Structure 1
Amino acid sequence: MSPRLQRFLSITTLSVVGALGACAGTPASSQGAAPEPLWGSEWRLLDIGGQAALPQPAATLAFPQSGQVAGHGSCNRFFGPVEIDRDRVKFGPIASTKMACMGTLEQESRYLAALQKAQRYEVKGDTLLIHTQGMDQPLRFVRTAPRR
């Protein structure tokens, strides 16, 4: 085989291998793997397991940076760690302020307890659903601030 033909075959082989490697790197979104990341997003609670949330004061949920969660339970502010792996979510121990508010503490208790039982999440447009153990319907949120 001539050196020229060998060089041509080597270049062709490298091109084919490179093209195949590029195909193997198909983005996860087209494979349906990892959902939209939550870091930097903020949400307002719409309902807890199918029951409408109080509109004022609004209960919120924010993911200010990787591994952290914060928000407003309706009365008190809360914060703590969160672990996210693909569509799985687990909120660590949540700490909160201890103000006594009339008419919102029952919802706040249900909301924070539900977060502690969270198992997975999904984002559909501007809606965040957090599926929790023991609830037939997920916590449902609407986006209030875009991801940074």
Structure 2
Amino acid sequence: MKTTLVMKTTIAAATALLLSACSGGLKVVESDLQHHHWNLTAINGVAVDPEIKSDLEIAEHFTINGMAGCNRFFGSATLEQNRLKADPLASTKMACDPVAQKVETAVLQTLGEGATVNNKGQQLELVGEQYTLTYQLADWMK
């Protein structure tokens, strides 16, 4: 009788865990992303030239800034239902070489249109309509 009760309790707990996992996965919260510096490593699975040094910082009150390709950007963003969306961003306006311009377009377009966030601890993926940006955690912001 005790074994049956323990078994039923275990099955109920496992079912609840599976249902919560299937209903959208783990929710990313702002505090999981804030105070981090991320370096862009790939776009759509293709490695980004490390000389471009594209990065993203997410700070207090969900302000964001970084290097898109050859221009710095800054502004604020929201995170709702695992979707990161930047408010209209301000940026510098330097001319980019064609390779850096492709990176810059992908970053600014993805942040502006919004992207689903997959936070894998040391790796952050922003999955937009056209681009998937893969970032590697660089360090904690001080």
Does residue 133 of structure 1 match 2:129? yes
Aligned residue in 2 for 1:108: 104
Larger Rg: 1
One-letter amino acid of the counterpart of residue 43, structure 1: W
Superposed CA RMSD:
2.2
**1:97 to partner: Cα distance:** 0.3
For normalisation by structure 2, the TM-score amounts to 0.71
Aligned residue in 2 for 1:142: 136
- Structure 2 residue runs of 5 or longer lacking an equivalent are 1-19
Aligned residue in 2 for 1:63: 58
- Structure 1 residue runs of 5 or longer lacking an equivalent are 1-29
Q: Distance in 2 between matches of 1:114 and 1:90?
A: 8
**1:67 to partner: Cα distance:** 2.5
**1:85 to partner: Cα distance:** 2.5
One-letter amino acid of the counterpart of residue 143, structure 1: L
Does residue 34 of structure 1 match 2:14? no
Identity of aligned residues (%): 29
Structure holding more helix per residue: 2
Does structure 2 retain, via aligned residues, the 8 Å contact 1:33–1:86? no
Q: Distance in 1 between matches of 2:115 and 2:50?
A: 25
Does structure 2 retain, via aligned residues, the 8 Å contact 1:76–1:98? yes
Q: Helix, strand or coil: the match of 1:56?
A: helix
For normalisation by structure 1, the TM-score amounts to 0.69
Q: Distance in 1 between matches of 2:125 and 2:110?
A: 12
Q: Distance in 2 between matches of 1:33 and 1:57?
A: 32
Residues matched between the structures, number: 117
**1:146 to partner: Cα distance:** 2.5
Match among 120, 124, 133 for residue 120 of structure 2: 124
Deviations 1:3-35 (A, max 9, x none): xxxxxxxxxxxxxxxxxxxxxxxxxxx976432
